Structure 1
Amino acid sequence: MTAATLASLAEKAVKWSALTTAARFVLQLGAQVALARALGPGNYGIYGIGIAVLTFAAFLSGSAFSWNLLLQERIDDNDIRFAFTWQSIAGAATALGMLLLAPLFADFFGDPRVTPMVQWLSLACLLTALSAPAVCLLQRDLNFRSLGLLQLASYGVGYLGVGLPLALAGWGAQSLALACVVQAAVTLVGAFVLRRHPVRPLFAHAAGAQALRTGRTVFVTNIVNWLLGNLDRIVIGRLLNAQAVGLYTLAYNFAQIPNTLLVSAIQPTFLASGARMAHEPQRLAQAWLLVLACVLVLVTPAAVSMALVAHDLVALLYGPDWNDSAWVLALMFLCLPAWAGWGLSTPVLWNTGRKHMEALLQLPLLAVAVPVWWLLTPQGLRWAAIVSAVVVYARMLVTVAAGLRALQLRWAQLAPMFVRGALLAAWCAAAARGAQLAVAPMDNAALSFAAGSLASFLAMAVVVLAAPQWLGEQARLALSRLLPFVRVAEAPAAGSATAREKQA
């Protein structure tokens, strides 16, 4: 595949992924609000505990076998059969373990509602494991149009078609468990229809040793990532209660929606196309710098603006039962640049032969974070959230630093992006806060949210339309791929940074 063809396919993939993930954002937001209001913090907390267990189980269920299909430059039917065989075995074994250990999880968290939650989610674990090869093959093919539409449909069927009616019928936390199972089932069927692959068992394979080595690395990395991303909820559930887990989970999940949409729109494309650029580090570096420019320059002001309207958002969407989650939501919104920067930097390590570094770099963070969470969480939910925020930013910094070393880049090349992002954040925040103060006497959450959001949007629009040079060349170039009317520098000198970026 030529560089031009790969670039064209990658750009189309990003656009389709962005479109479908934006639609999923609207769908997830509506479903989350409706379900949270119907179930309350307690039931939502039980679901949060169950999802933390399911996420851990998914790492044990052999997802690394399918992930290996995405990382290889070339694959054949034997690679797929080998991955599917061991993926299925590991998925079935893990699902059985969840089913049998569910009462022990309930004892650990001191809530009997955890038992049926984990038992239902064991089925979702099996279905997700079985669908992983087809999903990874769709990502490898850069077929994000079909994959995005499938994810949109499966979420809608699961959470709006099944979960919400059951919640309204009084099924409590189990309505969310069944919604997750249905979503996994629809994904399994749809992914296999879209990307059929051989399913005949193959227990041994010439490239099996390499797949297992990659699998071990993926497994260890995923476990470390799970610990850093879920231990906060585990500790909150153990030391506080399900109500606190519900409040925290709502804020965490809500803030994660824009991050998940951004990362899922770009990371798989970056990973799949980056695997084809593994021997061209200069092109990989140029593409990564464009991605980081989007995060640091464009996401940062959006994150700060969202943090300012977080209290209005909770009051408007969820009601007074959820007020205690507003402060946590604001803090989690401020983590968006770090989440995105970390998630969009890990493909650099995997595509430069440093896949083991992701876990190794984060182990010291884990060693420090665990005792700090345990000591500070009894002081209240806010302290647990503060520790989580510090951990998120630390993960981003160590991962980006490793990426810079891998591609022989310097922090100085990112410094202008940090500065521009901070200045734009201050500009948008001033506009949002000024608008909120102007309508404060009316004491209306909807009006305050609308005023702050609109003012921030208009402040950013002024920069994009009237003074795009404030964004910097890389952010302007990246933004122009989606918004053609954004002006970029004309006639860059041959061999200049901008010229190289356009070629990327």
Structure 2
Amino acid sequence: MSGLGRPGVAAVKWSAASTVARFALQLMAQVVLARTLGPEIFGIFAIGMVVLTFATFVSGFGFSWSLLQRETLSDEDVRFAWTWQLIVGLATTLAVYLLAPLLAAYFREPRAQSVIEWLSLACLLGAAAQPATYLLQRDLNFRAVGLVQVGSYAAGYIAVGLPMALMGRGEASLVAAWLVQVAVQLAASYALKPHPVRPLLWYADARAAVGTGHTVFFTNIVNWVLNNLDRVLIGRLLNAQALGLYNVAYNLATMPNTLLLGALQPAFLAAGARLQNDKPRLGRAYLQMLATIVVLGLPAFVALAFVSRDIVRVLYGPAWSDAAWVLGTLFLCMPAYVIWGLSTPVLWNTGRKHYECLLQLPLLAVGALGFYLLAGQGIHVAAAVAGGLLVLRAAVVATAAFRALDLRATALLPDALRGLLLSALCAAGALGAQHAVARFDIALLSLAAGALAAGLLPGLLLLLRPQLLGPDASDMVIRFVPGLANFLRRPAAAPASALPVALGEQHP
């Protein structure tokens, strides 16, 4: 039986469904906005978002996170978290607004000042929405969480952002879209999960909540620095145009990952919190998720990397052509990002909540030095440094997660070999098809041919030898698509001994 159990599987299914819907909306909106506004305006908005993400971590602090981690909850727990979320959120909003001139001066972009000032409101709105959001996640009500995410994004970007951009409102259209999205998320989350809002500054168990919040806060700060060093230094050392190109490529590369982690990580964290005292089941769930990522996710991202140039040409047009190399480089490193995101809940659910922050501290120095020395050489070099940093983070945190669960990293080796085999087939198919249609110089044709061929070779291999998925990835697929059980578990056409030893091994 899967370590996630039925409630966890149901939660991930709802998260995945909302992920697909949100991905479609986000891709459509971002493509139209990018074509309409251009790299420079996106770069100005990206400066505001770098500031906002940092301020959001500060305003959140982690009070609401404790609601997800506690085994039992009282009204006092919720009231305390709500009260302090509002206090810190309001303080952060005021601080960001007052610092906006200095922050714009740091990035040498005066137009960013008004963007930062308006986005400061999102600190308060986002902080106020967190208690209801975490309470919904605690209930494994990812149907409601998904509907809120999709509905708020549609309200912000489809109903407000796109019309304003088409009317020529520039960066104001992106700012308005973000603020509307956060406001709708606050209203909808509270409507779906009403909670006590009477202020409470202190109570008997407050110290435990503050301790959790303290850990979440510093962990988030470390993660923010590691995730945003590239944009902070590109914005400072280059210009808004370069930052816009880099940021759109980065967002497109991480969009599947962000949405995938948005579906899997909260569900795994919430379900894992219930398995804190059942390490074998938690370890089994973790191995199955990692196996699925390396066997199916790695080939998918390799295929995307090899068609990245065509993706940029088709979606964004010639004005964004310099973003293609950045996109391809980051696509190759995205599986590491997912592995990192799935490993952090293991540390939290095994009493090692400080590890995520402490283990990544040395990487701060490595990343800061790399970006400082190399980011000024252009966005291509910055992308290579960013990708390398993602791989390092995944290796460090995943190693700690394996140790926490008493697992051996070699348990994942057979699945890694499967993933590399399928990835090589994806790359060969994409390159061959692109070469075959290169003389026509039609971006859409090249993209379609490359994408289809990338899926054809591994698809045929798995059709003939479904056992190559491996037991863990197969079991995870079956948990979500039971109709494939007979196909994936059918006997192999050849004896198991005829298969390569590494591919025929079973996980303990």
TM-score normalised according to structure 2 size: 0.95
Aligned counterpart in structure 1 of residue 286 of structure 2, from 267, 271, 288: 288
Aligned counterpart in structure 1 of residue 177 of structure 2, from 176, 179, 188: 179
Letter in 2 for 1:354: R
Which residue number corresponds to residue 494 of structure 2?
A: none
Between the aligned partners of 1:79 and 1:405, the Cα distance in structure 2 is: 32
User: Which runs of structure 2 are paired with 1:71-90 in the superposition (5 Å)?
Assistant: 71-90=69-88
Between the aligned partners of 1:5 and 1:382, the Cα distance in structure 2 is: 41
Aligned counterpart in structure 1 of residue 350 of structure 2, from 336, 349, 352: 352
Which residue number corresponds to residue 135 of structure 2?
A: 137
Aligned counterpart in structure 2 of residue 324 of structure 1, from 317, 322, 325: 322
Aligned counterpart in structure 2 of residue 19 of structure 1, from 13, 17, 33: 17
Between the aligned partners of 2:258 and 2:244, the Cα distance in structure 1 is: 20
2:19 partner SS: helix
Aligned counterpart in structure 2 of residue 151 of structure 1, from 114, 135, 149: 149
Kept in 1, the 8 Å contact 2:126–2:186? The answer is yes
Moved more, 432-441 or 391-400: 432-441
User: Which runs of structure 2 are paired with 1:33-432 in the superposition (5 Å)?
Assistant: 33-432=31-430
Between the aligned partners of 1:170 and 1:100, the Cα distance in structure 2 is: 28
Between the aligned partners of 1:42 and 1:462, the Cα distance in structure 2 is: 44
Which residue number corresponds to residue 495 of structure 1?
A: none
Which residue number corresponds to residue 472 of structure 2?
A: 474
Between the aligned partners of 2:370 and 2:338, the Cα distance in structure 1 is: 24
Between the aligned partners of 2:466 and 2:311, the Cα distance in structure 1 is: 30
Kept in 2, the 8 Å contact 1:310–1:327? The answer is yes
Letter in 2 for 1:10: G
Kept in 2, the 8 Å contact 1:63–1:132? The answer is no
Task: Check if 1:28 corresponds to 2:26.
Answer: yes
Q: Equivalent pairs: percent with the same residue?
A: 54
Deviations 1:437-481 (A, max 9, x none): 111111110000001111222333324433111111101111122
Unaligned runs of 5+ in 2: 492-504
- Deviation of the 1:47 alpha carbon: 1.2
Between the aligned partners of 1:398 and 1:451, the Cα distance in structure 2 is: 38
User: Which runs of structure 2 are paired with 1:450-469 in the superposition (5 Å)?
Assistant: 450-469=448-467
- Deviation of the 1:489 alpha carbon: 4.0
Between the aligned partners of 1:13 and 1:134, the Cα distance in structure 2 is: 17
1:335 partner SS: helix
Kept in 1, the 8 Å contact 2:3–2:283? The answer is no
In 2 relative to 1, CA 6–205 (structure 1 residues): closer, same or farther, beyond 3 Å?
farther
Letter in 2 for 1:151: Q
Task: Check if 1:445 corresponds to 2:446.
Answer: no
- Deviation of the 1:94 alpha carbon: 0.3
Kept in 2, the 8 Å contact 1:142–1:272? The answer is yes
Deviations 1:27-49 (A, max 9, x none): 00000000111110010011111
Alignment root-mean-square deviation, CA: 1.8
1:163 partner SS: helix
Between the aligned partners of 2:424 and 2:67, the Cα distance in structure 1 is: 43
- Deviation of the 1:171 alpha carbon: 1.4
1:198 partner SS: coil
Kept in 1, the 8 Å contact 2:67–2:78? The answer is yes
In 2 relative to 1, CA 53–248 (structure 1 residues): closer, same or farther, beyond 3 Å?
same
Letter in 2 for 1:46: I
2:38 partner SS: helix
TM-score normalised according to structure 1 size: 0.95
Between the aligned partners of 1:83 and 1:29, the Cα distance in structure 2 is: 34
Which residue number corresponds to residue 485 of structure 1?
A: 484
Letter in 2 for 1:33: V
